[in-house]
Amino acid sequence: MKIKTGDTVKVISGHYKGTIGEVKAVNPKTNKIIVEGVNMIKKSLKPTQANPDGGIVEHEAGIDASNVMIYDEKSKTAGRVGFKTDAKGNKVRINKKADKEIKGGKK
């Protein structure tokens, strides 16, 4: 999977199209990612001893990784992820549209 936790992405399709946010979690098996503030759902909680009132909580649900593109804040462009080797011979991710190395992202 080319998108990692901590990357800044732009949603390119769906109800949240155009929204820019940070990736909170990645699930490579289902090809889903959780983006901060995108695909908000409400979930009802049953009363428990820890939470006797129960209630309704709102949180992010996963969206498909194909619905987002990596976003470069300096050039304000979203592009596909590519790979290059740097001067030291290490494989690094790049934003193809901005032709810049992608900083951050946790494995």
**Domains of the chain by residue range:** 8-100
The pTM assigned to this predicted structure is: 0.83
In this predicted model, what pLDDT tens digit does every residue of 3-34 receive, in sequence order? Answer: 999 999 999 999 999 999 999 999 999 999 99
Q: In the CATH hierarchy, which fold is given to the domain comprising 8-100?
A: SH3 type barrels. (2.30.30)
Residue labelled with tokens 């949180």: 59
Residue labelled with tokens 């908000």: 40
In this predicted model, what pLDDT tens digit does every residue of 43-80 receive, in sequence order? Answer: 999 999 998 999 999 999 999 999 999 999 888 999 99
